[in-house]
Amino acid sequence: MLRMVATRCMARALYFCSGCVAPEDFDHYGLAMPFYTHFTSPIRRYSDLMVHRLLGVCVGAEATYPDLVHKNKCQELCNNLNYRHNMAQYAGRSSVALYTQAFFRDKVLDEEGYVLFVRENALQVLMPRFGLEATLFLKEDGWSYDQEANTQTCGGVTLRQFDRLVVQLSVDSRNVQHQKVVVKLVDPKIPGVSVEPSGGKADNTQKQADDPPRKRSKVAASS
């Protein structure tokens, strides 16, 4: 959870052509290195192929061609690589959301979670057993947000980052094209906010059969 919180604060690394970006922007925060490039198997990513071709030219193993050493052409390829990476991320998240909805359909389950982030009007909750991350929106009435302390308080109960919760999970399938996982607070008990436990638990045998992908999925729901 600490790693997740730390990396969310950082800008995502991007592909770029060194001749098109100021040197002070070269640093790779994840590796804490001033220079970094791909040098892995060329069968993996097109960015790897670009690096191998350039290195091949440098050592005289390959012939060059105009577009290979044209910085603007190289930057155009980098921009497309960044775009395709984003699209792949969105496709992956959509796939996880689809299978998550299928797993929770026709179920009402109580599950342990932890407060990942505290927002002005919401709690971001992580449920490690399902690899599920959900936004629990908080109604304005009764909730008090302390920005300095990064807490939400209601009914004498104060919730902080990394606090343990029990939430109730189900699927709202009234709109077939826009189904969503509904998350409700079970514990801690807050009068007028928390719901009664459903008593439902994910069966281990069933879970192994139709376990959703073990990757974080972001969904939104209201308390």
Do 140 and 87 reside in the same domain of the chain? no
pTM over 0.85: no
Tokens describing residue 136:
């629990």
Q: Coil, strand or helix: which one is 68?
A: helix
Please give the pLDDT value at position 208.
47
End-to-end C-alpha distance for the chain, whole angstroms:
23
Do 37 and 125 reside in the same domain of the chain? no
- pLDDT bucket at 202, cuts 50 / 70 / 90: low
Q: pLDDT for 42-64, tens place per residue?
A: 567 888 888 888 889 999 998 88
Do 50 and 141 reside in the same domain of the chain? no
Written in H, E and C, the secondary structure of 183-196 is EEEEECCCCCCCCC
Q: pLDDT for 67-110, tens place per residue?
A: 988 999 999 999 999 999 999 999 998 898 888 888 888 889 89
- pLDDT bucket at 200, cuts 50 / 70 / 90: low
Do 93 and 49 reside in the same domain of the chain? yes
Residue of higher predicted confidence among 208 and 201? 201
Do 209 and 123 reside in the same domain of the chain? yes
Q: pLDDT for 119-166, tens place per residue?
A: 999 999 999 988 888 889 888 778 999 999 999 999 899 999 999 999
Q: Coil, strand or helix: which one is 74?
A: helix
DSSP 149-184: TTEEEETTEEEETT-EEEEEEEEE-SSGGG-EEEEE
Domains contained in the chain, number: 2
Question: What range does the domain containing 158 cover?
Answer: 107-222
pLDDT higher than 70, residue 214: no
Please give the pLDDT value at position 151.
95
Do 92 and 113 reside in the same domain of the chain? no
Do 112 and 216 reside in the same domain of the chain? yes
Do 142 and 184 reside in the same domain of the chain? yes
Residue at 5 is within a domain = no
Residue at 3 is within a domain = no
Please give the pLDDT value at position 40.
66
Q: Residues 187-209: what's their mean pLDDT? A: 73
Do 76 and 177 reside in the same domain of the chain? no
pLDDT higher than 50, residue 205: no
